[in-house]
Structure 1
Amino acid sequence: MSAVALMFVSTVPAQACGDEVFGNPSSAAHAGHTGPRAEGVAATSAVKNVEQVANLPDATGATSVRFLKYGHKDVLFISGRFGLKSYDVDNPRKPKLLSEVSLPGFWQGEDTEVDEKRKLVFLARDPRAYGGTTNTGESGVYTIDAKRPDKLELISYVQVPAGHTTSCVNDCRYLWTGGPAKADNQPADWGGRPIWVTDMKDPRKPKVFPNPIDLYRNDGKTDYAHDVQVDAMGIAWSSGRGGVRGYWTDGWHRDPVAGKFRKATALDPVPYAGGGVSELTAPSKFMHNSYRPVGWRSKDGGDHERFGRTGDLIYATEESFIQNSCAADGILVIASLKGSYNGEGWRSTPEKPFRLKTIGSWSVAGQEGSIESDDCSAHYFDVQGNVLVQSFYAQGTRFLDISDPTNPRQIAYHRPGDGRSWYPMWHKGLVYVADNVRGVDILKLSR
């Protein structure tokens, strides 16, 4: 494959993703970090049990990484303020740029989604793109054809009332798109944007459905649905302000809220489990993303089984910058889904709140390798076996042993002095980290 550069890419100063809970959700502060947070980058580096295999500085502004398989070849896709880039990583120590779709001024492709079968990449356009604001800016979804990773092609764009993240459900026949804070033309009593569904059966002609879903998620109030992850059972977990809730999106299932069996669809999903997270664990109530291990056993005998059937745990990230202190910033939360399978999370109210039981948690505050900083909220994470790798902005990338979910333990870390870690992903024994300042770091756990 030959390298193809479609357009010149300009870079934009790094800022945080702007989902954080501090003050009025519709305030100008949600345009992203400025001032001390944007500048709160460590002056010195700290590394333990991690080897840096390579760095891709030409991907400065990176926010997310993904892979697509082409026969025996895997291709790396990086999204960010620049748009989308593809890389040959057959030799991970010397990645080669293949192609790019340049979107100068784009915001921001966080948690970019890919369609494995049709070789498509979906980028969410946040209303803050191209100088817009959460109040009045336009949001939507770009679809890029990646059948030839050396010749990426932008094939469609559709305007969507939400646009911070977009996620595949039902094998990417549909997208669920959520966030950020609500627009001026949306209901005044909303705390943020819920999920809108887009029919992607014809990716060149996307169809957005007018009625949003995942409403009333915050103790009966419609609020910010930030991101969606689909587990191995096909259940879509929506994280946002008010907790994490899972839905069936296909097949016949019992609806615990309606009290009857009915057919689940992407447009009318059936509630499964989930709910709010205890404020004692996550004071902001803003859950950024999640992971539910299904059918997974720890190597030392299955600690997860102590908490009930396989799949009873949910791992979720709280993103929060409520105070200028790591001790009060967002953490990793491990909660039990037991007690939430009968629609409790959909009946929760301020007067009678339902909360998942916290099993374990982990914060970067005071951990080995940390520094004084107000830029250390938990962000995206990925799991391989018993090791969870997670981004903590200026506090770098942390590796945790989660064989005992009640007691996550740090076993390694990579905190470059000039970095802001956003999004890590395991791939063939390596971790590819989208760093908003450094581009992409390729890491290897050395112990």
Structure 2
Amino acid sequence: MSSTLHGWRRRVTVAAIGAAALALGTISAPLAAAQEIPGPDEIVTSPNMKHELNIPQTAPLANSTSTGTDLAFQGRYAFQGNYDGFTIYDIKNPKKTKILTQVLCPGSQNDVSVTGNLLFLSTDSRRSDDSCTSVAQNDGSLPYWEGIKIFDISDKRAPRYIKSVETACGSHTHTLVPSKDRRTAYLYVQSYGPSTTIAKCQPPHDLISIVEVPLRNPTAAKVVSTPVLFPDGGYDGPDTGSGTSGGVDTSGCHDMTVYPEKDLAAGACMGDGVLFDISNRTAPRVINRVEDTVHFAFWHSATFNNAGTKVIFTDELGGGGLATCNAAIGPDRGADGIYDIVGRGDQRKLVFRSYFKIDRYQDDSENCVAHNGSLIPVPGKDIMVQSWYMGGVQVWDFTNSAHPKKIGFFERGPAADPNTGGGTWSAYYYNGYIFSSDLGKGFDVLSINDPRTNPAKFVHMDELNVQTQGNYYRW
């Protein structure tokens, strides 16, 4: 399948893929045995993974406020969000990746997506106005702006800011959703944290904002719908925040992933995991909702398998700031939850199968918890690469939902300089390499050489927004 919005296409014959897949039964070198925690900033990997390159943060995105966030890809380019703006990298030769341009435009989190000549940026902090020279406006009773910014990236060396769209409670994250005729991009804007002290973010906030972007006239972008997803308010338990116990009340969604071809979306909505029907793009409809009041603290993100028959939900225990990869927390909290989608139509349900968490304990100074990842496109297998903040990058197999298996890892030891710590925010597979956005250390390029993942090297993508999933392979 090829499209302007998620652009998956084949570049080899079925026979070539089939031949490569024969290697799946080969036994690869075992992962490195559990060892002591690495030294400060020391890089360690499993034998099947290699750290190819690091590009540190550089000015103007190298301030105390500069934090690397999400990634998107298009052709020979990678786009990295940053609390202070975004960077475009030339990754034509991944081992010689270089910065093409940087845009200074403060406004957390600045999560990014791309389609065609457009780039979308999420602003989830109150700013004095919608410009790229705005300043923080933390008093919610004073005039402020937050929402979506749109850039024209037809010239990758000189992106142009062309439009802003204000959204309720800002845009913590957003998901790019193509219209069925491919003429329009919809942005599902996720936000949360309402308060009576914030003028344009009043409780309850059990909704998402949907921004419509006409691709031929993007400056006409506007909010066209604000569907209430939780008429009953969603999860309402003993809210203890996103710390190391209890859950957090649902007041919106943190992240949504869509599978447009299947008219499905999976929402990680604070206290709820949700399966949606999105056949009507501007009116998502809840099919099934699950809660985990024992193990999950904060439903953070979601990933479908390629067949659209499973969902991985992540739990951001500790809000991404605590050390939760240790014996005291254990293997089932701050983990991934693997759910099968069972049934048909409106009778589909999310059925829990197992948890998965990295088994390498981290230092008490290292924030570590499940975070952003993507599929590695291996035909017939469900394999994922995933960030774990200072727990590093993990590659793992969930083909058997009840018995996930680790494949490989990359990580750094505790930060030598706490000001450049933070770990990997997003780790995504794109055209043969793994690219990682680090909160404080910039941009990493990794490779993996393993018979279980090598068939993915025959699958080529023209464009990748990880929260907009497509079928990467068809026999």
Does structure 1 conserve the Cα–Cα contact (< 8 Å) formed by 2:342 and 2:348? Answer: no
Partner in structure 2 of residue 230 of structure 1:
258
In structure 1, what residue type is equivalent to 2:175?
A: S
Give the letter aligned to residue 314 of structure 2: T
CA RMSD of aligned residues (A): 2.9
SS in 1 for 2:334: coil
2:54 equivalent in structure 1: 55
Structure 1 CA distance for aligned equivalents of residues 282 and 346 of structure 2: 21
Cα 1:244/1:340, change in 2 over 3 Å = farther
**In structure 2, distance between residues paired with 1:410 and 1:134:** 46
Deviation (angstroms), 1:374: 5.7
Deviations 1:6-45 (A, max 9, x none): xxxxxxxxxxxxxxxxxxxxxxxxxxxxxxxxxxx96544
Establish whether residue 315 from structure 1 lines up as the match of residue 312 from structure 2.
yes
Tell me how far apart the structure 2 counterparts of residues 388 and 53 of structure 1 sit (CA, whole Å). Answer: 20
Q: Report how far residue 339 of structure 1 moved.
A: 6.2
2:270 maps to 241
Tell me the equivalent position of 2:411: 415
Determine which of 330, 342, 353 is the counterpart of 1:359.
353
How many Å separate the matches in 2 of 1:167 and 1:429?
24
Q: Secondary structure at the match of 2:402?
A: coil
Q: 1:380 aligns with which of 368, 372, 386?
A: 372
Counterpart in the other structure of 1:29: none
Partner residue of 2:149? Answer: 142
| Alpha-carbon distance in 1 for matches of 2:250, 2:324 | 29
Contact 1:169-1:249 within 8 A present in 2 as well: no
Compared CA separation, residues 193 and 94, structure 1 to 2 (3 A) = farther
SS in 2 for 1:315: strand
Over residues 301-330 of structure 1, what are the superposed CA-to-partner deviations in whole Å (9 max), with x where a residue is unaligned?
A: xxxxxxxxxx33211111121776432652
Report the CA distance shift for 1:99/1:45 in structure 2 as closer, same or farther (over 3 A). Answer: closer
Tell me what 1:300 maps to. none
Residue 432, structure 1, aligned to residue 421, structure 2: no
2:53 aligned partner, one-letter code = A
Q: List alignment gaps of at least 5 residues for structure 2.
A: 1-38, 128-134, 237-248, 416-420, 451-475
Residue 430 of structure 1, CA deviation:
0.6
Matched, 1:68 2:74: yes
CA contact (8 A) 1:178 1:193 kept: no
State the distance in 1 between where 2:263 and 2:271 align: 22
Partner of 1:92: 94
Unaligned runs of 5+ in 1: 1-40, 251-263, 296-310, 346-355
Shift of 1:186: 6.1
> How far does residue 267 in structure 1 lie from its aligned partner after superposition?
2.5
Give, in whole Å, the separation in 1 of the partners of 2:250 and 2:210. 16
Instruction: Give 1:227 deviation, angstroms.
Output: 1.3
Q: Which residue of 1 aligns with 2:393?
A: 397
Aligned position for 1:334: 338
Question: How far did residue 238 of structure 1 move?
Answer: 2.2
Contact 1:275 1:340 (8 Å CA) reproduced: no
User: What is the deviation of 1:401?
Assistant: 2.3
**Is the aligned partner of 1:218 residue 2:199?**
no
Q: Does 1:198 align with 2:211?
A: yes
- Kindly provide the CA deviation profile for residues 272-327 of structure 1, in whole angstroms up to 9, marking residues without a partner as x: x3312322342x2x2111112243xxxxxxxxxxxxxxx33211111121776432
Match of 2:136 among 131, 138, 155: 131
Q: Tell me if structure 2 keeps the 8 A contact 1:214–1:225.
A: no
Whether 1:168 aligns to 2:176 is yes
Contact 1:122 1:143 in 2 (8 A): yes
Q: Distance in 2 between matches of 1:288 and 1:155?
A: 30
Cα separation, 1, equivalents of 2:369 and 2:98: 32
Structure 2 equivalent of residue 113 of structure 1: 113
**CA 1:443–1:294 in 2, change beyond 3 Å: closer, same or farther?**
closer
Pairing 1:252-263 to 2, within 5 Å after superposition: none
- State the shift of 1:421 in Å: 0.8
Counterpart residue identity of residue 44, structure 2: A
Write out aligned runs for 1:269-288 (5 A): 269-271=284-286, 273-282=287-296, 284=297, 286-288=298-300
- 1:188-218 superposed Cα distances (whole Å, 9 cap, x missing partner): 653x563111121132132123644323462
Counterpart of 2:411, as a letter, is: R
Secondary structure in 2 matching 1:278: coil
1:343 CA displacement: 6.8
> How far apart in 2 are the matches of 1:340 and 1:134?
48
Contact 2:372 2:387 in 1 (8 A): yes
Matched, 1:208 2:223: yes
Deviation, structure 1 residue 362: 1.1
Displacement of 1:187: 7.5
8 Å CA contact 1:46, 1:415 repeated in 2: yes
The ranges of structure 1 where at least 4 consecutive aligned residues each deviate by more than 6 angstroms after the TM superposition are: none
Matched, 1:444 2:450: no
Per-residue deviation, residues 118-161 of structure 1 (Å, max 9, x unmatched): 32110010025643449566321010111221221111112111
Structure 1 residue 236: deviation in Å?
A: 2.5
Secondary structure in structure 2 of the residue aligned to 1:106: coil
Name the counterpart of 1:180.
192
Q: How far apart, in 1, do the equivalents of 2:40 and 2:374 lie?
A: 24
Aligned length: 354
